[in-house]
Chain A
Amino acid sequence: MTTQKQLVMVSAGTSDPSSTRLLADRVAQRVATLGVQKQLTVGIKTIELRELAGEIANALVSNHIGPKLQKAIDALQHADGIVASTPVYKAGASGLFTSFFQILDNDLLIAKPVVLAATAGTARHALVVDDQMRGLFAYLRTVVVPTSLFAATEDWTDPGLNKRIDRAALELVALIAAGFEKTVRDDSWGRYQHEFGSAGGTELSIDLDSDLMKLAAGGQA
């Protein structure tokens, strides 16, 4: 008896195939393999941000979520685990990558397990994941696995990268198998900040007893 789980890969790589996508793929494959040992059947969905570049730019300047972007948001909303992978440009994550995550509702990804990964042309960018990307995912209240992945050119021939991919994948599977996201959302969803229609349009609860609601109904501030 196995449980179905959904892994969503987000890649901000630009060539096809890109090393950024390749790195995410390798994590996803390991997650699927390790999942079997935990009685998890892991389905994999891929979001290639380059295909959403126009809609991401539009959403940033006009709040207008295009159809492809909406599909990506829906996929993330239902994800049990996420692998987020980006190239490093000018000592930071790709603007396409950060823009995409900046558009999402603050509560869309609460408690979701995430593997972070980055690729670069030089090992000098190695700390981008831990120093920069973790902050964004902490803001989104995700739980990022302890092992960050980074691959510079030389890492692709280094067996050390495979070991780190194994570690990160196992950490993600452990969090998915433990049901961390479900526990947090079931027991504590109301303790996070939400707006009407947030969480990708699914958060529709309204506290009719709040001070503002009482004021709206003719009460005192």
Chain B
Amino acid sequence: MQFGIFSVSDITRDPVSGETPSEAERIDAIVQIAEKAEEVGLDVFAIGEHHNPPFFSSAPTTLLSHIAARTKKLIVSTATTLITTNDPVRIAEEYAMLQHLSKGRMDLMLGRGNTAPVYPWFGQDIRQSLPLALENYNLLHRLWREDVVDWEGKFRTPLQGFTSTPRPLDDLPPFVWHGSIRTPEIAEQAAFYGDGFFANNIFWPKEHYMRLIKFYRQRYAHYGHGTEKQAIVGLGGQAYIAKRSQDALKEFRPYFNEAPVYGHGPKMEDFMEMTPLSVGSPQEVIDKTLTFREHFGDYQRQMFLMDHAGLPLKMVLNQLDLLGEEVVPVLRKEIESRQDPETAKPPTHALRVKEKYGDEPARQPKPNANRGDNVTGGSPYQDTE
């Protein structure tokens, strides 16, 4: 089981101090947060993608490759990468590059994005968001698996003899999670390809996510990738931890009350009752997180949202200390002892290389000399005809 943190990259006014960090301050902070995640023993750091203020993360692979360079073991990922407004060709190229630079310590999560004005900025239409996402991923999937792609679809310029470079590290495509909160088609696509499925699990009651995860597991088995229990599931979560639960409630309440999306709405206690939010002592956060597997089945990755709603850097780093030192070690131990033995291991590059190649060496494609295109002659790589 992997544990990590994910950030939406919001730059939000701290409701206690009244201060809004500058973009520069928040970008510096996120690098420190990611480094801290590794230091306290977390496995994954993921960043969102946005193209409008008050968010800073418009260029996730740039940030993630910087973080990968400053860390040793941390897996860098996204939450989410926009499979609608990004050209799938650029996703293929950028994330393959990140995969090389991080030596395989990366994966990515795809999502559609629900900010309507963003779509036309990139020449797209939110009303076509779902078919666009599905078609784009069908293409992305091929670009990472076929050296030369001929392709024609409804939304993008056709491709003739196109090679996405660099080829994935060890010729093994990055692992992909499909994030969705309500769309069976996205769960179906994740299941069809044997990819992971991620439910952000933050805003809505668990019953909602249980239905979709169940469908994904059934379809994963239907397509022959393994049993329902072996499907690859990730979950979001949200926590605020303090040694004493009354301090946690007191400290987090002003941030909860003014948080983007759910602030100015439900009472924090009601929200805790009905959603996965935990605010309390390490033991309370542990207890609540341990219920997730009972609802959704055993799963591979648990992500926590820890740095949003204007929480200042110092508090976030303190939260990470508590998460990494007092919560996650217990969760690892408890979940290991309770987990169904059939459960799949979390995806890592090393594990997947082993699955693909066994003890054989991985393919390392070497290009032929430049011919100006990929259409004339055979393969652009030396090891294939």
Contacts and interface: CB of A to CB of B under 8 A. Distances in A.
Interface of A: 57-58, 61-67, 195-197, 201, 204, 206, 208, 212-213, 215-218, 220-221
Contact of B188 (A201, A216, A221): A216
Interface of B: 130-131, 134-135, 138, 141, 153-155, 182-186, 188-189, 192-193, 203-205, 207-208, 211-212, 215, 261-262, 264-266, 270-271, 273-275
Contacts of B274: 64-67
A165 to B, nearest CB: 38
A67 B266 CA distance: 11
B192 A217 contact: yes
Contacts of A220: 153-154
Contacts of A63: 203-204
Given A206-B215, A218-B192, A197 B185 contact: no
Contacts of B207: 201
B216 to A, nearest CB: 11
A206 B182 CA distance: 12
Contact of A212 (B131, B154, B205): B131
Contacts of A57: 265
A54 to B, nearest CB: 8
Given A62-B262, A64-B265, A66-B274, A195 B134 contact: no
Secondary structure at chain A's binding surface: helix, strand, loop or mixed? Answer: loop
Given A65-B274, A67-B270, A212-B130, 8 more contacts: A57-B265, A63-B203, A64-B271, A67-B274, A212-B131, A213-B184, A218-B193, A220-B153
A81 to B, nearest CB: 27
A60 B266 CA distance: 11
A66 B189 CA distance: 32
Given A64-B203, A221-B155, A215 B211 contact: no
28 contacts: A57-B265, A58-B266, A61-B264, A62-B261, A62-B262, A62-B266, A63-B203, A64-B203, A64-B204, A64-B266, A64-B271, A67-B274, A196-B182, A196-B215, A201-B207, A208-B188, A215-B134, A215-B135, A216-B188, A216-B189, A217-B188, A217-B192, A218-B141, A218-B192, A218-B193, A221-B131, A221-B154, A221-B155
A215 B205 CA distance: 29
